[in-house]
Amino acid sequence: MSEQVAPSPAAQPGQTDPAVVEQPPAQPGKSKGRKVLGVVGLLLAVVAVGAAKGALHLWEQRDDAVQAKVGECIAQLPEVAEGQEKDVDSAKVVECTSTEAAYTVVGRVDHQTEAQARSGDACEQYFKEGEDGYVFSGGERSGGKFYLLCLTKKS
């Protein structure tokens, strides 16, 4: 025996046929996850590049003198008249046998306040009578304190 299926009643104008159900287009679930992973990956890459550039900048701007010890030598610094001071970005530690060596570190004073570093008085004890002494001060990497390098012209 054969079955007959009755046609659905004709839809009125402006109405949809109840037998025909429209399904929304299928959205693949994996592509949404991949998009999120792609965006996260891109953000991580941008952060990594930025961090690398920042580290390189700090490396290039490092102050060699922050690790200088008594007996080591410093390359030429700008000339400064007695009683005057001049801002210098950094001092370069060099081998004392190098032709670049201009000053010898005869003393080092750490943990100075900014006012103490500006006065340079803590270096007086390292200079001999009649000897020209020079003071290089720099900021320590942490704690907001300063260090002083007490220098004499290399002979």
- For the chain, give the percent of residues with pLDDT over 90: 26
Residue 146 has pLDDT above 50, yes or no: yes
pLDDT, residue 67, reads 87
- What does the alpha-carbon distance between residue 51 and residue 155 come to, in Å, rounded to a whole number? 44
Where do the domains of the chain lie? 30-61, 64-79+89-153
DSSP readout, 15-79? S--TT----PPP--HHHHHHHHHHHHHHHHHHHHHHHHHHHHHHHHT--GGGG--TT-EEE----
Q: Binning pLDDT at 50, 70 and 90, where does residue 29 land?
A: low
- Residue 102: CB atoms within 10 A of its CB come to 17
- What does the alpha-carbon distance between residue 142 and residue 149 come to, in Å, rounded to a whole number? 18
Residue 17 has pLDDT above 60, yes or no: no
- Residue 109: CB atoms within 10 A of its CB come to 20
Q: Binning pLDDT at 50, 70 and 90, where does residue 60 land?
A: very low
Q: pTM to 2 decimals? A: 0.56
Between 88 and 154, whose confidence is greater? 154
- What does the alpha-carbon distance between residue 92 and residue 60 come to, in Å, rounded to a whole number? 12
pLDDT digits (tens, 9 = 90+) for 31-56: 666 776 666 666 666 666 555 454 44
CA angle 19, 25, 26 (to 5 degrees): 115
